[in-house]
């Protein structure tokens, strides 16, 4: 089950919830099947089962939970022959991506509660590729922010593409690294009130934060951090991870930088310049590097390795403007509040976006534990600015 914390779910409950979500939207809502477990809604419906009660429920044991997963999958396989219409396909696509999200959540939950890494990941090697300093210029223009129907499955908060005016800006080629963030700590950044917003300073004082949550006190000139159960030396040129939006904002003030807006982030990731380089073109790439699918040389996704790689890695994944790792490695906080696009209407899973508008910040790009199905350039992740347990870092813009 794991410890009772506000930022994690009971492990056994979360796995059962994944199975229930698949069953509810595909077998029951799409195909009209009866529930496989009669009390399932009372156990696993996250919209109606309060978080604090999930440790006290009469859940099936481990064998029963995994048996439920297998039973749901077997029924889905039986039904898929008739699931060719668009409506049915939507709910299968939704359920698969929901599972992807929980795979990632279970990964950072292992870090939160000091569990061992998942089987098969402990020995994965993260290559040393070094730093990638400097900014690149992105011209101004009009950018079509959001998704279109031709993109295939999209979430309701991406609907629909609309024009946004972008002023010219300069954005870092790579995310902020551990070494760059360490300089902020060593300069007294966590104790300097002027670098923090009112809400950020209140968060820092409440947490008594002196450095990122898993970092250990510097010893013999070396920074280290807890990684799952072990203490490991920090790779200086890997992106800083497990930092809150408040910490990213404070670092930017200290460095005389700023976070990009989500429209700037998207334009830098998949935009292209006009032939004369004077403005943003009307075209957009499928991925930062083009139309080819993700691969380890382009993006650190799908557990290719168990952690972030140096910011100079994945050199085949550069955007048209020269930004690297816009997809994968670490989620990137943006300056943007999580708000609906004009004309928003909730999809059938109404609690996915609508309850959270105005209370979260947008993150883009995915991380090493994100599936390629989720880490599309237009996907809008969202967390409250205090969350420092998720696999997030940040990239910055020049003022």
Reported as a single tens digit per residue, the pLDDT across 251-284 is: 999 999 999 999 999 999 999 999 999 999 999 9
Q: Report how far residue 133's alpha carbon sits from residue 311's, in angstroms, rounded to the nearest whole number.
A: 9
- Compute the average pLDDT of residues 33-44: 97
Consecutive H or E run containing 162: strand 162-166
Q: Are residues 197 and 328 in the same domain?
A: yes
Q: How distant, in Å, are the alpha carbons of 33, 155, 208, 390 from that of 28? A: 5, 21, 47, 32
Consecutive H or E run containing 280: strand 280-284
Residue 121 lies in a domain: no
CATH number of the CATH domain containing 310: 3.90.1580.10
Q: Report how far residue 55's alpha carbon sits from residue 350's, in angstroms, rounded to the nearest whole number.
A: 25
Convert the pLDDT of each residue in 331-360 to its tens digit.
999 999 999 999 999 999 999 999 999 999
Convert the pLDDT of each residue in 124-166 to its tens digit.
567 789 999 999 999 999 999 999 999 999 999 999 999 999 9
Residue 232 lies in a domain: yes
Number of domains in the chain: 2
User: Tell me, what's the pLDDT at 287?
Assistant: 98
- Compute the average pLDDT of residues 15-21: 98
Domain that holds residue 341: 131-399
Q: Are residues 228 and 314 in the same domain?
A: yes
Q: Report how far residue 196's alpha carbon sits from residue 206's, in angstroms, rounded to the nearest whole number.
A: 13
Q: Are residues 208 and 357 in the same domain?
A: yes
Reported confidence tier of residue 86, pLDDT bands at 50, 70, 90: confident
């Amino acid at each position: 089950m794991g410890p009772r914390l506000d930022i994690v779910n009971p492990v056994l409950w979360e796995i059962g919830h994944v199975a229930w979500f698949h069953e509810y939207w595909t077998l029951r809502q799409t195909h009209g099947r009866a529930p496989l477990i009669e009390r399932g809604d009372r156990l696993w419906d996250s919209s109606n089962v309060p978080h604090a009660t999930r440790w006290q429920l009469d859940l099936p044991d481990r064998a029963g939970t995994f048996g439920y997963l297998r039973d749901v999958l077997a029924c889905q396989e039986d039904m898929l022959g008739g699931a060719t219409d668009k409506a049915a396909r939507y709910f299968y696509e939704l359920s698969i991506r929901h599972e992807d999200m929980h795979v990632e959540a279970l990964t950072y939950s292992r870090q939160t509660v000091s569990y061992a890494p998942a089987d098969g990941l402990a020995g994965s090697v993260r290559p040393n590729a070094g730093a990638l300093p400097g900014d690149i210029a992105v011209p101004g223009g009009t950018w079509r922010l959001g998704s279109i129907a031709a993109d295939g499955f999209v979430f309701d908060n991406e609907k629909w593409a609309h024009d946004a005016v972008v002023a010219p800006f300069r954005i870092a080629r790579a995310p902020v690294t551990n070494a760059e963030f360490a300089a902020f700590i060593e300069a007294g950044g966590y104790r300097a009130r002027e670098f923090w917003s009112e809400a950020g300073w209140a968060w820092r004082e409440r947490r008594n934060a002196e450095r990122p949550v898993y970092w250990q006190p510097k010893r013999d000139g070396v920074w280290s951090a807890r990684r799952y159960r072990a203490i490991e030396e920090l790779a200086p040129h890997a992106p800083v991870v497990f930092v809150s939006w408040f910490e990213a904002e404070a670092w930017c003030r200290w460095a005389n930088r700023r976070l990009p807006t989500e429209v700037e982030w998207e334009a830098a990731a998949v935009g292209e310049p006009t032939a004369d380089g004077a403005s943003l073109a009307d075209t957009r790439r499928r991925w930062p590097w083009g139309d080819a699918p993700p691969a380890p040389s382009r993006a650190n996704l799908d557990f290719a390795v168990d952690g972030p790689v140096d910011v100079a890695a994945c050199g085949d994944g550069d955007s048209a403007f020269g930004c690297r790792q816009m997809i994968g490695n670490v989620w990137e906080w943006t300056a943007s509040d999580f708000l609906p696009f004009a004309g928003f209407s909730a999809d059938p899973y109404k609690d996915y976006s609508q309850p959270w508008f105005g209370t979260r910040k947008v993150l883009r790009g995915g991380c090493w534990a994100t599936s390629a199905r989720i880490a599309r350039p237009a996907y809008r992740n969202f967390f409250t600015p205090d969350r420092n347990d998720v696999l997030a870092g940040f990239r910055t813009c020049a003022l």
